[in-house]
Structure 1
Amino acid sequence: MYIYDSVQKKKRKFEPLVEGKATLYVCGPTVYDDAHLGHAKSALVFDLLTRVLRANGYDVIYARNITDIDDKIIKKAIEQKKDIKSITDFYTEAFHNEMAAIGVKRPDIEPKATESLEAMYMMIEELIEHGHAYKTSDGDVYFDTKSDHEYLSLSHRIQEDEQRQERVESSEQKRNSADFALWKSVKDDTITFDSPFGPGRPGWHLECSAMIEKHLAYKEKPFAIDIHGGGADLLFPHHENEAAQTRCATNHELANYWMHNGFVNIEGEKMSKSLGNSFFLKDALREYDGEVLRFYLLSTHYRANFNFNTQDLEASKKRLDRLYRLKKRLFGLTGSEDETAFTKELLNALNDDMNISSALALIDEMIGQANETLDTPGKHKILKRETIANLAFIEKVLGFGVKNPYEYFQFGVDEATKERLNTLIEERNAAKKEKDFERSDKLRDEILTYGVNLMDTPQGTFWEKV
Structure 2
Amino acid sequence: MHIFDSVQKTKRKFIPLKEGKVTLYVCGPTVYDDAHLGHAKSALVFDLLTRVLEANGYEVTYARNITDIDDKIIKKAIEQKKDIQEITDFYTEAYHKEMEALGVKRPTLEPKATQNLEAMVDLIQKLIDKGHAYTTPDGDVYFDTASDSEYLTLSHHSQNEEDKQERVASSSYKKNHADFALWKSVKDNSVTFSSPFGAGRPGWHLECSAMIEKHLAYKDTPFAIDIHGGGADLLFPHHENEAAQTRCATKHELANYWMHNGFVNIDGEKMSKSLGNSFFLKDALKEYDGEVLRFYLLSTHYRSNFNFNTQDLESAKKRLDKLYRLKKRLFGLPACNDETPFKKELLKSLNDDMNVSTALALIDEMISKANETLDTAGKHKLLKRETLANLAYIEKLLGFGIQNPFEYFQFGIDETTKEKINTLIEQRDSAKKEKNFALSDKIRDEILSLGVNLMDTPQGTFWEKV
The TM tier, using the shorter chain, reads: over 0.9
For 1:312 and 1:301, the matched residues in 2 are separated by 15
* 2:225 equivalent to 1:225: yes
Opposite residue 249 of structure 2, the aligned amino acid is A
Opposite residue 68 of structure 1, the aligned amino acid is D
* 2:347 equivalent to 1:347: yes
* 2:424 equivalent to 1:424: yes
Partner of 1:385: 385
Partner of 1:333: 333
Partner of 2:145: 145
Partner of 2:359: 359
For 1:167 and 1:441, the matched residues in 2 are separated by 66
> Which 5+ residue runs of structure 1 have no aligned equivalent?
none
For 1:420 and 1:428, the matched residues in 2 are separated by 12
Partner of 1:406: 406
For 2:14 and 2:169, the matched residues in 1 are separated by 36
Deviation at 1:435, TM superposition (A): 2.7
Task: String of CA shifts for 1:102-161, please: whole Å, max 9, x gaps.
Answer: 111110100000000011011011111111111111110000111111100000011227
Task: String of CA shifts for 1:294-316, please: whole Å, max 9, x gaps.
Answer: 00000010000000001111111
* Distance change >3 Å, CA 233–CA 90, structure 1 → 2: same
Residue 35 of structure 1 aligns to a residue whose secondary structure is coil
For 1:81 and 1:304, the matched residues in 2 are separated by 41
Contact persistence 1:169–1:180 (CA under 8 A): no
Contact persistence 1:335–1:388 (CA under 8 A): yes
Opposite residue 259 of structure 2, the aligned amino acid is M
For 2:59 and 2:260, the matched residues in 1 are separated by 22
Contact persistence 1:166–1:177 (CA under 8 A): no
Partner of 1:49: 49
Partner of 1:263: 263
Residue 336 of structure 1 aligns to a residue whose secondary structure is coil
> Which 5+ residue runs of structure 2 have no aligned equivalent?
none
For 1:192 and 1:101, the matched residues in 2 are separated by 35
Partner of 1:176: 176
Partner of 1:285: 285
The root-mean-square deviation of aligned C-alpha atoms, in Å, is 1.2
Contact persistence 1:335–1:384 (CA under 8 A): no
Contact persistence 1:30–1:66 (CA under 8 A): yes
* 2:82 equivalent to 1:82: yes
Contact persistence 2:161–2:177 (CA under 8 A): no
* 2:436 equivalent to 1:436: yes
* Distance change >3 Å, CA 60–CA 311, structure 1 → 2: same
For 2:70 and 2:166, the matched residues in 1 are separated by 19
Aligned length: 466
Contact persistence 1:17–1:221 (CA under 8 A): yes
Partner of 2:215: 215
Deviation at 1:162, TM superposition (A): 7.4
Contact persistence 1:41–1:298 (CA under 8 A): yes
For 2:240 and 2:183, the matched residues in 1 are separated by 17
* Mapping of residues 200-211 of structure 1, within 5 Å: 200-211=200-211
For 1:163 and 1:361, the matched residues in 2 are separated by 42
For 2:46 and 2:224, the matched residues in 1 are separated by 19
For 2:69 and 2:378, the matched residues in 1 are separated by 64
Contact persistence 2:338–2:385 (CA under 8 A): no
Higher mean alpha-carbon deviation, 371-380 vs 36-45, is at 371-380
Task: String of CA shifts for 1:204-254, please: whole Å, max 9, x gaps.
Answer: 000000000110000111000000000000000000000000001110000
For 2:378 and 2:158, the matched residues in 1 are separated by 68
Residue 139 of structure 1 aligns to a residue whose secondary structure is coil
Partner of 2:134: 134
Deviation at 1:165, TM superposition (A): 3.1
* Mapping of residues 63-74 of structure 1, within 5 Å: 63-74=63-74
For 1:439 and 1:166, the matched residues in 2 are separated by 71
Deviation at 1:171, TM superposition (A): 1.6
Residue 30 of structure 1 aligns to a residue whose secondary structure is coil
| TM-score, scaled relative to structure 2 | 0.98
Deviation at 1:170, TM superposition (A): 2.5
For 1:393 and 1:86, the matched residues in 2 are separated by 40
For 2:354 and 2:193, the matched residues in 1 are separated by 42
Residue 391 of structure 1 aligns to a residue whose secondary structure is helix
Deviation at 1:400, TM superposition (A): 0.4
Partner of 2:159: 159
Opposite residue 204 of structure 1, the aligned amino acid is W
Contact persistence 2:66–2:113 (CA under 8 A): yes
For 1:161 and 1:299, the matched residues in 2 are separated by 39
Contact persistence 1:162–1:177 (CA under 8 A): no
Partner of 1:26: 26
For 1:91 and 1:176, the matched residues in 2 are separated by 36
For 2:161 and 2:361, the matched residues in 1 are separated by 40
Opposite residue 20 of structure 2, the aligned amino acid is G
Percent identity of paired positions between Structure 1 and Structure 2: 81
* Distance change >3 Å, CA 111–CA 254, structure 1 → 2: same
